[in-house]
Structure 1
Amino acid sequence: MTHVVIRPKVLYVGTPVFLVSTVNADGSFNLAPASSYWALEQMLVLGLETDGQSARNVLERPELTVSFPHPELWPAVERLADVTGRDPVPEAKAGRYRFEADKLAVSGLGFEPSELVAPPRVAECRLQFEARVRRATPGLGAYLLVEAEVVRVHADPAIVVPGTEHVDPRAWHPTIYSFRHYFDIGAEVGWRATSETTG
């Protein structure tokens, strides 16, 4: 195999898209798409744009929800991609973003109340996490690194292995963001021996 040296503008090799909901200072809610994500046990690590409303909100009111849209919802995600809840629009975003107070209306999605945190969940998403921010680290370029503990998980019964608390990876289809394109996951090619959902 011969490789070439490249320097892509982005390194989104394939990460899940999520919608983060937070509470604004006036008690209304902000909704934003993101794809910088990883998880370790019950902790999430999220990358949020420093000059976005979501970052401001979690620093002031450290709760959020993370809702994972299935691939058919990618147009709703894209409708949110160029709007911001910040007014005035920050200078770094002024060329591409426009202010929208009601981002839920822009998305065409709906909210449903959370049980343990103030921000609501996105009703149409089949997998939703309620979380409390445990640490937020600013200064990583244009991003705020947010560490949040998941305190409740909501799952559509259709994606849960019957009689268990396991998400069925064959039934669950996250939207994958790869080099600025949206994808469904492909066919299963294998599994870890420690998986509790084989067979």
Structure 2
Amino acid sequence: MHNVSFPSILYFGTPVILITTVNEDESFNIAPISSVFWLGWRCMIGIAASSKTTENLLRTKECVINLPSENEVDKVNRLALKTGSSPVPASKKAKGYQYEPDKFGAAGFTSLPSSTVNAPRILECPVHLEAGVVAKHFLSKDEPLQYGNIICFELKILQVHLDESIVDDDKPDHIDPDKWRPLIMSFQKFYGLGSQLHHSTLSEIPEKLYNTVDRKNALEMIQ
């Protein structure tokens, strides 16, 4: 039987991503978030308007989306309740956040230079997506008490870096889902993926049929 309910959050399970950006003093910031989805070579993220990452995205218009696997969960967890904003925004202070200017050091991550943006990649993450901001949208336009608190960014993927450990043995441009084990956030807790549950009819469609002009343009940039 289903009952009417009023959960405080509706985080039913999405991948954890680590967004790296460049601060105004040329140092680097890392923000772990899980409000994210992809369509083609476009990515949508949702993040607090008061976040240091939001400030950096609005100023630099670029970032790297780093996807950790299950193996990096301890390092990701070290970033919890840490913010690159000083002073700490009131909304984050109420949740127990503290200012941390060196997110890479705090987590034990290693920075790598990117190819198309100034923001760094995270060595330990199996997936790096260099990206540029193409649009922004504030949520809750219909609710004055919430409007302006959350901002969504549309990001265009410019270049993809994949660790060889997750790539299909026979197809270098394909990720093998049996090798890729993303870190999942569900209702504020960390989870991983189990084995494939059932054959997917959708998987019978060749991946090349999902190609977009964004991917074509990215290929032409390196040729």
- 1:51-70 pair list within 5 angstroms: 51-70=50-69
For 1:27-106, what aligned pairs fall within 5 Å after superposition?
Answer: 27-95=26-94, 96-106=96-106
Question: Which position in structure 1 is the counterpart of 2:184?
Answer: 176
Deviation for aligned residue 1:194: 1.4
Q: Does residue 1:152 correspond to 2:159, yes or no?
A: yes
- Give ranges in structure 1 of 5+ residues lacking alignment: none
Larger helix percent? 2
Q: How many angstroms apart in 1 are the aligned matches of 2:23 and 2:103?
A: 12
Please tell me the root mean square deviation across aligned C-alpha atoms, in Å. Answer: 1.3
Letter in 2 for 1:152: Q
**Alignment equivalent of 1:194, drawn from 180, 201, 205:** 205
Identity %: 35
Q: Aligned to 1:57, what secondary structure does the other structure show?
A: helix
Deviations 1:54-99 (A, max 9, x none): 0000001100001111112112212112011111111111121110
Tell me the CA shift for residue 195 of structure 1: 5.3
CA distance in 2, matches of 1:89, 1:32: 14
Q: Secondary structure at the match of 1:80?
A: coil
State TM-score, norm by structure 1. 0.94
Letter in 2 for 1:39: W
Match of 1:166 among 166, 174, 185: 174
Q: CA deviation at 1:139?
A: 4.6
Q: Report the counterpart of residue 219 of structure 2 in structure 1.
A: none
Counterpart for residue 119 of structure 2: 119
Amino acid at match of 2:205: T
Count of residues in correspondence between the two structures: 195
Say which of 132, 143, 146 aligns to 2:150.
143
| TM-score of the pair, normalised by structure 2 | 0.84
Partner-residue secondary structure (3-state), 2:73: helix
> In the TM superposition, what is the alpha-carbon distance from 1:103 to its structure 2 partner?
1.0
Q: Deviations over 1:101-157 (max 9, x none)?
A: 111111111111111111001100001100001012235443210100001010011
Q: Secondary structure at the match of 1:38?
A: strand
Write the distance in 1 (CA, Å) between the matches of 2:70 and 2:29. Answer: 22
Deviations 1:154-190 (A, max 9, x none): 0011211124211111110100111111111112023
Q: What is the SS of the residue equivalent to 1:171?
A: coil
1:23-77, CA deviations, whole angstroms, 9 ceiling, x for partnerless residues? Answer: 1111111111000000010000011111110000000110000111111211221
Consecutive unaligned residues of structure 2, counting only runs of 5 or more, are 141-145, 208-223
Counterpart secondary structure, 1:147: strand
Look up the equivalent residue of 1:20 and give its one-letter code.
Answer: I
Equivalent residue, structure 1, for 2:193? 185
Q: Which amino acid aligns with 1:117?
A: V
